Each structure stands twice: as C-alpha cells, then as structure tokens.
Amino acid sequence: MVRLKASILIGATILSAPSAFIPPALANDSAEKPPSLAAEAAIDRFQKTYDTAGTVVADIDLTGDFRTVTPWRFVAIQGPSTENVLLDGGDPGLIAMCLAHGAALDCSGPPFPHFEHVDAPKSSWDKSIGNYHSLDARIVFARSHIRSPMLLLVARSVFSANGNQVVSTFALSYDRQANRFVGTFAGVTGKNHNEEIRLVRTGPLAGDIILDEPTFNAPFAYFITVLRSSNAATYSERLHYRSQTRYGDGNPLAVIDSEMPEIMRRLGLWKVGDKLPFPQEMPSSCHSIELRRGVEWCR
C-alpha cells in the first residue's frame, strides 16, 4: 500500500444524515441494549444497499450529552466478515455510518458509507471518506477550555499485504444555533511508519490534536503539527516543525510522546529542568523516562 501523508480537513459541515480529559468508555450503547429504531432502519437500509445482512457496531444517542434541540443519533452498521488471501487478516466487513436526525431518526441521503449531506469543502471531505472495516466511535470531553463534547470517530481500512492500514480520524461538534453537527477535524494517515493522529487527553494541551507524519528526505524524522479548537470551532494550526526524533532510533515511546518536551517548549509550556511530561502511551517495558538531546526516552 502506498504510504499516506496525513491530510487535514478544516471546516466541513455535516447537516443531517471532539479540565483534564476523562478517558471514556466506548460510547456505543448498543452492547447491552436492543438496537434503537434508528439502528433498525439503518440495518434495513444496509441490506437494501449492499444486498447483505449487517450488524450494529455503534448506536450512540447524541441528544443528551450534546443537549441537541431535536433528536440526533450516530449509527454504524458492519457487513459480514470474509476471508481473503490477498488481505492480511482477511476482511472484517464494510462499515457504513450515519448521523440520524429528527423525530424519525432516519438515515436519509446518499448511499453509505458517506456521511449525510456534507457541505463545503465537500471534495476535501470526500477524500477522507473511504471503505472502513473497523471503527472506534465515542463521545469525549477533552477540551479544558470548553465544556462541550465531541463525537470522535477513528475508522480503519483492511490491512494490506505489508501490514499497512489507512486510519481516518474525524472530530465533530454540535452547533446548537443551527441544530447540526460540524466536522471540526478530519485527517488520514498510514500506520507502517509510526505516524499518528492523537487527541491529547491530559495536561495543558488537553483537547488539542497532534499529528506526526514521516519526512521524505534524510535525515529521516517526522513533521509535528499541533492544532487547537476553541468555542467548538474548527481546528487550526498553532505549531509545525521537524522533529528531533529520528525514524528507527530504537526509542520505544511513540513519536508524539518522545517529542512532547519539545512541543511544550516551543509553546512556552515547558523548559529544561522541569519535570518531564508523562507519556500518554507508556510501554509496559518502560520503567522510567529521561531526556536525551531534547527527546524524551524510555529507559
């Protein structure tokens, strides 16, 4: 699979059809409850669209947490898994997503898997929408300066023969005045080169989104980008630089964790001598951390 350079979409709007972060459980409330009316309608639509049965993998009531004016619900349906000798791990089944709206909570609009009624810049948004085969969907409260939640979606393609995978991340906020959900961020990466899109969970950067994407010339490193949203607005860039972390340096920490001291230093939030930022993703083999030439290392 061709390595994907992270692409960012700012400002897409979905009409009908992200204090310290508290890590949420999956917001899928279908695990212990029967499918909602919206999910049942989506299952029926999936059957008619793809001529195959589907199962509910996300059935999230958005009305309460977002305090919506009218009922809203996020629904995702997955088709049957299949074996495929050309795909690493086979195909777990296509996932179709829908934002159901109104009293009927019906998923109307263009065929799955596209979101319903995407507004400008539609061409950019469409490039971030593909055939997804696994999904993590949840409501998160991750912005210290804003109390409003986000709907965070992380969707993944099937694995390619070399183990790579397309990972798409979407963040949506609710516009109460317009009674619609707004796409505040969309980004796409691969997986084979330690690239990542991360919503920061704790600390002074809580609610910010950080991207690391590999450079394409020596010395091979990463481009680090930090984006912030305020007042439920779209994410905008506040920092971009070439990392001190090198590709294949042997550091077990994730690139974003290894770069966190430098990220915070550049933003005026940390200086040499301060306590090192604790990694959001601490490897089990890592017992302590130290700073080496501006990079946080596991030892």
Is the bond leading into 110 cis (omega within 30 degrees of zero)? Answer: no
Give pLDDT, residue 208: 92
284 located within any domain: no
CA distance 227 to 98: 26
CA distance 129 to 121: 13
93 located within any domain: yes
Confidence class of residue 195 from pLDDT cuts 50, 70 and 90? Answer: very high
CB proximity list for 203: less than 8 A, separation 6 or greater: 20, 277
Confidence class of residue 128 from pLDDT cuts 50, 70 and 90? Answer: very low
CA distance 215 to 147: 36
100 located within any domain: yes
Higher pLDDT, 52 or 223: 223
| Average pLDDT rounded to a whole number, residues 208-221 | 93
pTM of the full predicted structure? 0.81
| Average pLDDT rounded to a whole number, residues 150-179 | 86
Instruction: Domain of residue 101: give its range.
Output: 7-192
What's the sign of the alpha-carbon dihedral 259, 261, 264, 268? Answer: negative
114 located within any domain: yes
Answer for the pair 156, 163: CB distance below 8 angstroms, yes or no: no
CA distance 217 to 219: 6
Confidence class of residue 86 from pLDDT cuts 50, 70 and 90? Answer: low
Neighbours of 34 (CB within 10 A): 9
287 has pLDDT over 70: yes
Task: Look at the chain and report how many structural domains it folds into.
Answer: 1
275 has pLDDT over 70: yes
23 has pLDDT over 80: no
127 has pLDDT over 90: no
123 located within any domain: yes
| Average pLDDT rounded to a whole number, residues 239-261 | 95
Of the listed ranges 125-129, 205-209, 240-244, 251-255, the least confidently predicted one is: 125-129
218 located within any domain: no
46 located within any domain: yes
| Average pLDDT rounded to a whole number, residues 172-179 | 87
276 has pLDDT over 90: yes
CA distance 133 to 80: 10
| Average pLDDT rounded to a whole number, residues 245-267 | 96
86 located within any domain: yes
